[in-house]
């Protein structure tokens, strides 16, 4: 009988009790160094022990409960996905989704964490340990090859418990390729310990014993001590007989990390994710909250300020901001306000979408990124505009960066996500029931003293964003310090013009006729343009302009970006003259 390839099995890499909060356990399995850590949501991560940026071991990183922070350049990696969430040298960049630490299987059984390279294998089930409580005894690292330890354990009839009386019959039996079970029978009682052997590398292993049954509190410590002494004796024997390191049985190839689908190219407006409505509730007057869980696998990571396109059952596509703070990686959480003049988007979400329903989403896009290098960060939310700012506030709070979240709403009943607002209390200022003039006065007070390295983020109804931008500009805020995201484009769109477009790269020339968008014309000509909102809000369908006057109709660009005239949102904007040249 040939022994199975160790790389095809799962092995223990740590005891569950080793994974204390905000700690990273250092482990090694079959020559692969591992960083093992538990997030605050109890998810156990088993990662390659290496920052992908400059190779620093992640076992020296800080576990902040949601992310591991590399001590070298402060790169942050998210719980579950292992995606890079932030690169501090580039505060305004969203890290590409391909930047990801290799992650491995993580299973819990018998009080141990199991990992390995196989996507299908399961931790062993042993009759000795099934159906009862177990006690994890002290694990012992041994400077001897795993095979030698297994053989030593088979020849080492150590009493599982101290002084069970004379005449105990002890048997040691192989319990799978990397485990030895010891059973002691005295009279009518039977004690059992299984020693799992973690193959560290060619010359080393860790013996991880698990005992059946939970002993009474007064016996527990003496059992632990008794067993540790016995194992220590075995270790001395093994290490004195171990020669130089020998090759471990396989694996012939390095441990395989889990494969995850890489980000699909953003193309057209096709949905990329299938999710299930895990929870739906009314979080405030007229605002429904949704938690969307992946149907399979894990959700793509994103940065604060991001939104997803939701493909509604009625065929409409709507953008909703993700309110998640760092640490909430198992679901996307959205807030949707029922608009009285809804064209079918918010009404459909409120009325037709129920818990358990499936929805199609795009991957997250972020056109409202948060810098985390500001001396002062001011977040101004109007009503449902709070959603992206909630993600920002939670991120800043966790990183202990100062911020103010000014939340303008009609009344207490209109404040959404109270459970998220509660722990933000230090940075949160509520402004309730103010008229537009009173709101403007408040915003004047908030923004009156601009200082360098200050950044302002505003999201809410169009007129409020307009007012905030004007007030901030009057108070001396530079344009590039004021960041905004509109929910919708409330200006009337003019599409009566007709113009010519030349594509510099392909040499094609197209004509965009009245009533047809530039975006649609480009797609008709075979150009694969990504898009999301298709109303000049989100910035996804941007193209670079090489020549020609522009008729900007979006609410995405600020005034100097418009004046520069080098970019266009193809969904709503058009040529100002007869012809434009695009870098496509």
Q: Write out the residues near another protein by the rule CB under 8 A.
A: 14, 18, 20-23, 25-28, 33, 40, 49-50, 52-57, 60, 62-65, 69, 71-74, 87-91, 99, 138, 141, 220-221, 224-225, 228, 232, 372-375, 399, 401, 453
**Nearest residue (CB) to another protein, 92 versus 438:** 92
End-to-end CA distance of the chain: 62
In the bound complex, what is the minimum distance in angstroms from residue 53's beta carbon to another protein? 5
In the bound complex, what is the minimum distance in angstroms from residue 99's beta carbon to another protein? 6
**Nearest residue (CB) to another protein, 160 versus 382:** 160
3-state secondary structure of 117: coil
Rounded CA gap, 30 and 7, in Å? 8
State the chain's maximal CA–CA distance in angstroms: 103
Rounded CA gap, 195 and 160, in Å? 11
In the bound complex, what is the minimum distance in angstroms from residue 452's beta carbon to another protein? 11
3-state secondary structure of 113: strand
**Nearest residue (CB) to another protein, 91 versus 576:** 91
Backbone angle region of 476, left / alpha / beta, with phi > 0 → left and psi within -120 to 50 → alpha: left
In the bound complex, what is the minimum distance in angstroms from residue 563's beta carbon to another protein? 23
In the bound complex, what is the minimum distance in angstroms from residue 207's beta carbon to another protein? 12
In the bound complex, what is the minimum distance in angstroms from residue 206's beta carbon to another protein? 8
In the bound complex, what is the minimum distance in angstroms from residue 131's beta carbon to another protein? 25
**Nearest residue (CB) to another protein, 25 versus 289:** 25
In the bound complex, what is the minimum distance in angstroms from residue 221's beta carbon to another protein? 6
**Nearest residue (CB) to another protein, 72 versus 281:** 72
**Nearest residue (CB) to another protein, 312 versus 374:** 374
**Nearest residue (CB) to another protein, 295 versus 375:** 375
**Are 584 and 522 within 8 A, CB to CB?**
yes
Q: How many CA atoms lie within 13 A of 528 on its CB side?
A: 4
In the bound complex, what is the minimum distance in angstroms from residue 371's beta carbon to another protein? 8
**Nearest residue (CB) to another protein, 141 versus 462:** 141
What is the β-pairing status of strands 376-382 and 404-409? parallel
Contacts of 217 (CB under 8 A, 6+ apart): none
- Which H/E stretch holds residue 14? strand 11-15
Three-state SS for 401-456 is CCCEEEEEECCHHHCCCHHHHHHHCCCEEEEECCCHHHHHHHHHHHHCCCCCCEEE
Residue 273 has phi, psi (to 5 degrees) of -130, 145
**Are 496 and 514 within 8 A, CB to CB?**
yes
**Nearest residue (CB) to another protein, 155 versus 232:** 232
**Are 184 and 173 within 8 A, CB to CB?**
no
**Nearest residue (CB) to another protein, 2 versus 253:** 253
**Are 160 and 212 within 8 A, CB to CB?**
no
In the bound complex, what is the minimum distance in angstroms from residue 341's beta carbon to another protein? 42
**Nearest residue (CB) to another protein, 88 versus 297:** 88
Rounded CA gap, 420 and 416, in Å? 9
In the bound complex, what is the minimum distance in angstroms from residue 22's beta carbon to another protein? 4
In the bound complex, what is the minimum distance in angstroms from residue 335's beta carbon to another protein? 25
Q: What is the separation of C-alpha 294 from the centre of its chain, rounded to a whole number of angstroms?
A: 12
In the bound complex, what is the minimum distance in angstroms from residue 504's beta carbon to another protein? 25
Return the number of other C-beta atoms located less than 10 Å from residue 470's C-beta: 12
**Nearest residue (CB) to another protein, 98 versus 494:** 98
Show the CA angle centred on residue 218, arms to residues 214 and 221, nearest 5°: 75
| Residues composing the chain | 584
Note every long-range contact of 86-94, with CB atoms under 8 Å and residues 24 or more positions apart, other chains counting: 86/303, 86/372, 87/53, 88/372, 88/373, 91/371, 91/372, 91/373, 92/369, 92/371, 93/369, 94/302, 94/303, 94/306, 94/366, 94/369
Asked whether the bond before 251 is cis by omega within 30 degrees of 0, the reply is yes
3-state secondary structure of 89: coil
In the bound complex, what is the minimum distance in angstroms from residue 211's beta carbon to another protein? 14
Strands in 482-486's sheet, in edge-to-edge order, are: 428-432, 404-409, 376-382, 454-460, 482-486
**Are 146 and 205 within 8 A, CB to CB?**
yes
**Nearest residue (CB) to another protein, 49 versus 554:** 49
**Dihedral in degrees, nearest 10, Cα atoms 310, 483, 330, 47:** 130
Residue with tokens 């390659």: 48
**Nearest residue (CB) to another protein, 31 versus 344:** 31
- Residue 520 to residues 255, 378, 509, Cα–Cα distance (Å): 47, 38, 14
**Nearest residue (CB) to another protein, 371 versus 562:** 371
In the bound complex, what is the minimum distance in angstroms from residue 110's beta carbon to another protein? 18
């Amino acid at each position: 009988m040939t022994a199975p390839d160790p790389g095809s099995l799962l092995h223990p890499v740590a005891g569950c009790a080793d994974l204390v909060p905000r700690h990273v356990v250092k482990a090694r399995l079959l020559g692969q160094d591992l960083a093992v850590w538990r997030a605050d949501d109890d998810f156990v991560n088993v990662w390659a022990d290496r920052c992908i940026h400059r190779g620093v071991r992640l076992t020296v990183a800080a576990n902040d409960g949601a992310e591991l922070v590399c001590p070298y350049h402060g790169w942050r990696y998210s719980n579950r996905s292992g995606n890079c969430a932030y690169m501090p040298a580039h505060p305004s960049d969203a890290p590409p989704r391909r930047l990801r630490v290799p992650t491995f299987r993580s299973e819990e059984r018998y009080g141990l964490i199991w990992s390995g390279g196989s996507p299908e294998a399961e931790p062993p089930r042993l009759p000795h340990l099934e159906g009862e409580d177990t006690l994890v005894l002290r694990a012992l690292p041994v400077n001897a090859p795993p095979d030698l330890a297994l053989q030593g354990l088979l020849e080492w009839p150590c009493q599982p418990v101290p002084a069970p009386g004379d005449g105990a019959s002890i048997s040691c039996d192989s319990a799978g390729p990397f485990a030895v079970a010891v059973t002691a029978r005295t009279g009518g009682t039977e004690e059992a310990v299984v020693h799992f052997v973690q193959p560290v590398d060619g010359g080393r292993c860790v013996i991880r014993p698990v005992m059946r049954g939970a002993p009474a509190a007064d016996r527990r410590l003496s059992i632990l001590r008794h067993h540790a002494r016995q194992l220590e004796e075995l270790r001395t024997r093994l290490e004195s007989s171990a020669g130089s390191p020998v090759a471990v049985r396989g694996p012939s190839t390095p441990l395989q990390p889990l494969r995850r689908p890489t980000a699909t190219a953003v193309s057209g407006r096709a949905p990329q994710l299938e999710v299930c409505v895990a929870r739906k509730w009314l979080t405030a007057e007229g605002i429904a909250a949704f938690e969307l869980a992946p149907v399979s696998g894990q959700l793509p990571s994103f940065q604060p300020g991001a939104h997803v396109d939701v493909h509604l059952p009625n065929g409409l596509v709507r953008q909703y901001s993700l309110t998640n703070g760092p640490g909430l990686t198992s679901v996307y959480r959205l807030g949707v306000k029922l608009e009285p003049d809804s064209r079918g988007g918010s009404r459909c979400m409120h009325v037709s979408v129920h818990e358990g329903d499936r929805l199609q989403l795009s991957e997250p896009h972020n056109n409202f990124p948060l810098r985390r290098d500001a001396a002062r960060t001011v977040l101004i939310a109007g009503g449902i505009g709070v959603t992206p700012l909630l993600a920002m506030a939670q991120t800043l709070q966790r990183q202990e960066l100062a911020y103010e979240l000014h939340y303008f709403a009609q009344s207490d009943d209109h404040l959404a996500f109270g459970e998220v607002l509660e722990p933000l209390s230090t940075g949160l200022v509520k402004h309730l029931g103010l008229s537009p003039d009173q709101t403007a006065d408040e915003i004047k007070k908030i923004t009156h003293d601009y200082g360098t390295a200050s950044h302002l983020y505003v999201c809410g109804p169009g007129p409020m964003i307009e007012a905030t931008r004007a007030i901030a500009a009057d108070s001396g805020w530079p344009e590039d310090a004021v960041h905004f995201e509109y929910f919708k484009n409330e200006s009337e769109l003019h599409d009566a013009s007709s113009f010519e477009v030349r594509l510099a790269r392909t040499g094609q020339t197209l004509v965009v006729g009245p009533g047809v968008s530039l975006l649609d014309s480009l797609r008709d000509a075979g150009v694969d343009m990504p898009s999301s909102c298709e109303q000049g809000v989100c910035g996804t369908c941007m193209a670079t302009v090489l020549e020609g006057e522009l008729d900007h109709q979006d609410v995405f660009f600020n005034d100097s970006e418009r004046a520069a005239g080098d970019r266009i949102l193809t969904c709503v904007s058009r040529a100002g003259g007869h012809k434009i040249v695009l870098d496509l």
